[in-house]
Structure 1
Amino acid sequence: MYIPADFEMRDPAAVAAFIAAHPLAQLVAHGAQGLVANPFPLLAVDDDTLIGHMALANDMHRIVPDGADVLAIFQGDSAYISPNWYPSKRADHKVVPTWNYACVQFHGRITFQHDAKSKIAAVGRLTQNHERETNGAQAWKMADAPKDYMAQMLAEIVAFRIDVTRTYAKSKLSQNKTADDAMGAVENLRKNGADAIADSMQAAQKTR
């Protein structure tokens, strides 16, 4: 991924926080008939490993071989930025439109896991992570479901692990603009209801 220096996310903690906030990744791989892509929620269990699971009916685990190179793309909020929002436009008109966004890409090698232990671990860890955020002390647990029903559900999935080989993290949030122009964009995004990316842009200005 092309990443100008102004937009590179260098802090591992910031990268971890980003994928935790945007856990649904597009997983891209190459099979016998060309490229294949599917969205999956993924969990980083450490700096070098992502885990997830897919439906047994999903052909991805059949057409992509174990050990194949894959690309997991985590995409954050994005927005069109109008040059009309920059105060500097009134001075010289030397401004153009752009698009602000943030994304993280992990290159790695995938291993499909069909054993019960791996499937329980993948479902359990992903569920625990999201249930804790969603329901707190009232979090749903795998043990809440009848054992025979859970066994049936686990039989219908395939777990997988991605061993990460390269990471690219990009946060294009007007860091290359003056503070006045960046905040002009922030104010107009808020007027349009795009508070999430406006918050990210404002935070980026504070860390320049």
Structure 2
Amino acid sequence: MYIPKIYKSEDRELMKQIISDNGFAMLISNKEKLWATHSMFLLNESGKDFYLETHVSNGNHQAKVLRDGDEVLCDFLGANAYISSSWYDHINVSTWNYEAVQIRGTVKLMTDDELYLHLHKLTYKYEKQQKCPMFAENIGEASIRNEMKGAFGINIFPTEIHIASKLSQNRKENDFKNIIKELQESPEESSRKVAEKMKDAKPVYSQRPQ
């Protein structure tokens, strides 16, 4: 994706946070034809490196054509909100603030044991916050392995990483503060989240996106 320099981030911790908080993301491939699937991702750290894990249904076109070494694109959208031009002290256009990550990488198909561990970790991540969590141990290995017959698991090893953090860094101080105020008063949780993100941003008001 195109990211103007002012909005481009190299913050790996921000990247990990966006992926962790927004794990239901897009798996995009272009083998035989363009295809995109919403799927659940996990970030797996290995020393200083990392890779992504996900799975799709065996009935999915991507499961039928993807093989080791194929290229895919993973798209994660983080906090985002509409920014009205009425919040500026001058005539301008409205825009959208957002954080996003795109990772291009190569595919490595999971073994059955890797897929089992992937589903085990995925279940733990989302069940641990439930009132009555149903962990993999409660379901039983036999039941999980039976359900695995309908799943196609892949690991994705990054070749390109793009991190966008567009938080009105190009706005004047008064406009910047007013945008935060308006977002904080929004009934939408995502807008209020963007306001909190902006408080930690480092505006450079004299710059404009190139």
| TM category, shorter | 0.7 to 0.9
Residue 208 of structure 2: aligned partner: none
* Structure 1 range deviating more: 35-44 or 13-22: 13-22
Letter in 2 for 1:109: T
Q: Comparing both structures, which one devotes a greater share of its residues to helix? A: 1
With over 3 angstroms needed to count, the CA separation of the structure-2 counterparts of 1:2 and 1:206, relative to structure 1, is closer
Count of aligned pairs between the two proteins: 199
- Tell me the secondary structure at the aligned position of residue 176 of structure 1: coil
Q: TM-score, normalised by structure 1?
A: 0.86
- Tell me the secondary structure at the aligned position of residue 20 of structure 1: helix
Letter in 2 for 1:169: I
- Tell me the secondary structure at the aligned position of residue 59 of structure 2: coil
- Tell me the secondary structure at the aligned position of residue 26 of structure 2: strand
The within-5 A match list for 1:99-110 is 99-110=96-107
Identity %: 26
Tell me, in whole angstroms, the C-alpha distance in 1 between the residues paired with 2:68 and 2:173: 48
Q: TM-score, normalised by structure 2?
A: 0.85
Residue 74 of structure 2: aligned partner: 72
Residue 21 of structure 2: aligned partner: 21
The within-5 A match list for 1:182-193 is 182-193=176-187
- Which 5+ residue runs of structure 2 have no aligned equivalent? 206-210
The within-5 A match list for 1:143-182 is 143-182=137-176
Q: CA deviation at 1:207?
A: 10
Give the root-mean-square deviation of aligned CA atoms. 2.2
Tell me, in whole angstroms, the C-alpha distance in 1 between the residues paired with 2:35 and 2:201: 34
With over 3 angstroms needed to count, the CA separation of the structure-2 counterparts of 1:149 and 1:48, relative to structure 1, is closer
Tell me, in whole angstroms, the C-alpha distance in 2 between the residues paired with 1:196 and 1:66: 38
Q: Is the 8 A contact 1:189 1:195 kept in 2?
A: yes
Q: Segments of 4+ in structure 1 off by > 3 A?
A: 205-208
Q: Is the 8 A contact 2:54 2:154 kept in 1?
A: yes
Asked if 1:51 is matched to 2:53, the reply is yes
With over 3 angstroms needed to count, the CA separation of the structure-2 counterparts of 1:206 and 1:20, relative to structure 1, is farther
